[in-house]
Amino acid sequence: MTTELPDLDHTPWPPELAARYRAAGHWRGQTFGAWLTALSRAYAERVAVIGEDHRWTFAELDARAHRIAAGLVDLGIGPGDRVVLQLPNRPEFLAAVFGLWRAGAWPVFALPAHRDSELRHFVEQAEAVAILTVDVHERFAHAEAARAVAAAVPSVRHVLSVDAPEWTSVAAAQPRELPDPDPEGVAFLQLSGGSTGLPKLIPRTHDDYLYSVRESARICALRPDSVYLAALPVAHNFPLSSPGVLGALHAGAASVLAPRPDADTAFRLVERERVTITGVVPPLAAAWVQAAARTSRDLSSLEVLLVGGAKCGRELAARIGPALGCTLQQVFGMAEGLVNYTRLDDPEDLVLETQGRPISVADEVRVVDGADREVPPGGTGALLTRGPYTIRGYFRAGAHNATAFTEDGFYRTGDLVRRRASGHVEVVGRAKEQINRGGEKVAAEEVEDHLMAHAGVLDAAVVGVPDEFLGERTCAYVVPTQGAEPTAAELRRFVRERGVAAFKVPDLVEIVAAFPVTGVGKTSKRELRAALAAARTEKG
Ligand code: AMP
Ligand code: DBH
């Protein structure tokens, strides 16, 4: 039975579990702002963050965050206000995020790849009061796009660009004591990959997130002289917290923010900054492995390469250590919470064949069949989880929460896994409708929606196609309206022009007369995928 749930900003943990997490020391009652204060005392003159043209110590980052917090409060941005942040990998990202945290506002972590339609969705869903962005990044005029969204959404009072004079004055405000927010309250809204449409907003608390950050730093063996390279967009949960720039801060280590993740850029920074640890998605790992064979850069400082976000197959996994001269660490995480790592001292077969085991003994994991019954040990099933850093509900999504969580609070990850006796999990596939395009998550329904907006499209169904390089690519099946003859190129252009991230434009478009249907008349994606696989086998 599914009961209606209210549209809460944040679904709290049950009191007895919260008490247990506190008693165990998982939750320490510390906010991000207080945490940075403590770090800046411990590591004041050590370098915290390195960009293309800045290098800030912990003390400087801390001072900047204090000023920005005061500047934001002066603009009327305060406790509980949502601010959509769309910043590329620049040191200003960290200063702004800690400034927002100290002001009690909730950053909403958009990615630089998001375009008008996603930005508008986040702003509307979050009822954001401000958008904080840059003027231009990778030839896209972000501030202009943000102003257009702001004009259409009444909740938005400010569009701020870190490249504009107003930001200089925000960042130059007189610092002052501000009330510390509730550590068990929401700190920010992270984005889900968007399994059933556009990304959903994920409320994470200071206490829960900091626990995962501290444990990640420990599991990845970060030390004060480690150097973390953020190659992926830093607002994403993986480079933010697994162990990411926050894990590096926790250890007193420096983070280098790469403007782009390509091998040329990353290798240049590894050599220049003596990077010891970084994280990439599998397609990027494959590109780096290839590039490493020809590079003249000195990569000898690199100790650990984390690979995650999508399945890293054994073939690729086995090439990483030899090619890059470092240890592979697999990571299987989700913005909703649960993160699994292979451990640095795990035997080789676990490192090459599994996606790791949970961070915490307090992480509860169940592997279940279609009726939510535990499958026998070693069997494949759907992964359910709850624990001290896994959410109990999405932001204002009562109806969705009723199906995304079990009645006893387990999150339905949508992933199909097999578990070994050691607790390590192997990701086998996904139960939910999401295409994982080299770590970038594409929600089938969202792309279908865009296609359906075209006058020549009667119905659309988007499925993932196995792809050697990306793991999966998207294929859109389209049934044209009568008399219409839309071409694949036209439809791809149409989706792109609706203002969506490039990775969501269908890679392949197949025009068909009708879709296969299930017993009750629903489009059968299972059959579509099977037809596609058969067609590919025929072609050889
Ligand atoms: P997101 O909703 O964007 O946070 O994406 C989380 C999802 O990415 C997980 O539920 C998995 O489907 C997928 N994922 C993350 N890491 C891995 C991995 N190492 N192997 C396989 N799938 C992964
Ligand atoms: O894909 C993810 O969301 C992800 C991957 C690795 C993640 O959230 C994480 C580590 O924390």
pLDDT tens by residue, 39-52: 999 999 999 999 98
Q: Identify whether residues 166 and 105 lie together within a single domain.
A: yes
Phi-psi category of 438—alpha, beta or left, where left has phi over 0 and alpha has psi -120 to 50?
left
Higher pLDDT, 416 or 267: 267
Q: Could you report the per-residue pLDDT of 254-279, keeping only the tens digit for each?
A: 999 999 999 999 999 999 999 999 99
> Which residue shows structure tokens 């370098």?
47
Q: Identify whether residues 408 and 502 lie together within a single domain.
A: no
- Domain's final residue, options 416, 434, 452: 434
Task: Tell me which residue has its CA closest to atom 8 in ligand 1.
Answer: 309
Cα of 309 from ligand 2 centre, angstroms: 5
Task: Tell me which residue has its CA closest to atom 8 in ligand 2.
Answer: 334
Which ligand 2 atom is the nearest neighbour of the CA of 241?
Answer: 11
Q: What is the pLDDT of residue 411?
A: 98
The average confidence (pLDDT) of the chain is 93
Query: Tokens in use for 453?
Result: 């907006």
Tell me the C-alpha to C-alpha distance, in Å, between residue 72 and each of 91, 142, 444: 18, 20, 38
Q: What is the pLDDT of residue 197?
A: 57
Q: Could you report the per-residue pLDDT of 196-235, keeping only the tens digit for each?
A: 456 899 999 999 999 999 999 999 999 999 999 999 999 9
Q: Identify whether residues 407 and 455 lie together within a single domain.
A: no
What is the C-alpha to C-alpha distance for residues 475 and 250, in angstroms, rounded to an integer?
A: 42
Question: Looking at residues 348-372, what average pLDDT do you find?
Answer: 96
Nearest one of 186, 197, 109 to 395, comparing CA atoms: 186
Burial class (CB in 10 A: 0-12, 13-18, 19+), 487: exposed
Q: What is the pLDDT of residue 160?
A: 98
Nearest one of 76, 143, 133 to 107, comparing CA atoms: 133
Task: With both helix axes pointing from N to C terminus, report the angle between 92-103 and 32-43 in degrees, rounded to the nearest 10.
Answer: 130
Q: What is the pLDDT of residue 522?
A: 55
CATH at 406:
2.30.38.10
Question: Looking at residues 425-434, what average pLDDT do you find?
Answer: 79
Ligand nearest to the CA of 241: 2
Residue 321 domain-assigned (yes or no): no
Model confidence at 195, pLDDT cuts 50, 70, 90, reads very low
Q: What is the pLDDT of residue 192?
A: 87
Share of the chain above pLDDT 70, in %: 96
Which ligand 2 atom is the nearest neighbour of the CA of 310?
Answer: 1
Tell me the C-alpha to C-alpha distance, in Å, between residue 3 and each of 288, 383, 403: 48, 22, 9
Does the pLDDT of residue 537 top 80, yes or no? no
Which range (200-209, 309-318, 416-425) has the least confidence? 309-318
pTM, entire model:
0.89
Share of the chain above pLDDT 90, in %: 81
Question: Looking at residues 278-305, what average pLDDT do you find?
Answer: 93
Residue 90 domain-assigned (yes or no): yes
Q: Identify whether residues 8 and 147 lie together within a single domain.
A: no
Q: Identify whether residues 378 and 496 lie together within a single domain.
A: no
Q: Which domain holds residue 500?
A: 438-539
Q: Could you report the per-residue pLDDT of 322-340, keeping only the tens digit for each?
A: 999 999 999 999 999 999 9
Q: Could you report the per-residue pLDDT of 498-507, keeping only the tens digit for each?
A: 999 999 999 9
CATH at 503:
3.30.300.30
Nearest one of 526, 494, 532, 489 to 512, comparing CA atoms: 532
Q: What is the pLDDT of residue 196?
A: 46
Model confidence at 536, pLDDT cuts 50, 70, 90, reads confident
Higher pLDDT, 39 or 429: 39
The number of domains in the chain is 3
Task: Tell me which residue has its CA closest to atom 4 in ligand 2.
Answer: 333
Any atom of ligand 2 within 6 Å of the Cβ of 434: no
Does the pLDDT of residue 2 top 70, yes or no? no
Which range (146-155, 166-175, 261-270, 276-285) has the least confidence? 276-285
Tell me the C-alpha to C-alpha distance, in Å, between residue 40 and each of 48, 57, 226, 390: 9, 8, 17, 28
Any atom of ligand 1 within 6 Å of the Cβ of 332: yes
Contacts of 485 (CB under 8 A, 6+ apart): 456
Any atom of ligand 2 within 6 Å of the Cβ of 381: no
> Which residue shows structure tokens 């907003």?
201
CATH at 164:
3.40.50.980
Burial class (CB in 10 A: 0-12, 13-18, 19+), 470: buried
Q: Identify whether residues 371 and 405 lie together within a single domain.
A: yes
Any atom of ligand 1 within 6 Å of the Cβ of 333: yes
Cα of 342 from ligand 1 centre, angstroms: 15
Is the N-terminal amide bond of 243 cis, ω within 30° of 0? yes
Q: What is the pLDDT of residue 432?
A: 66
Q: Identify whether residues 115 and 154 lie together within a single domain.
A: yes
- Domain's final residue, options 183, 216, 249: 216
Higher pLDDT, 192 or 402: 402
Q: Identify whether residues 533 and 385 lie together within a single domain.
A: no
Any atom of ligand 2 within 6 Å of the Cβ of 308: yes
Q: Identify whether residues 495 and 394 lie together within a single domain.
A: no
Q: Identify whether residues 2 and 147 lie together within a single domain.
A: no
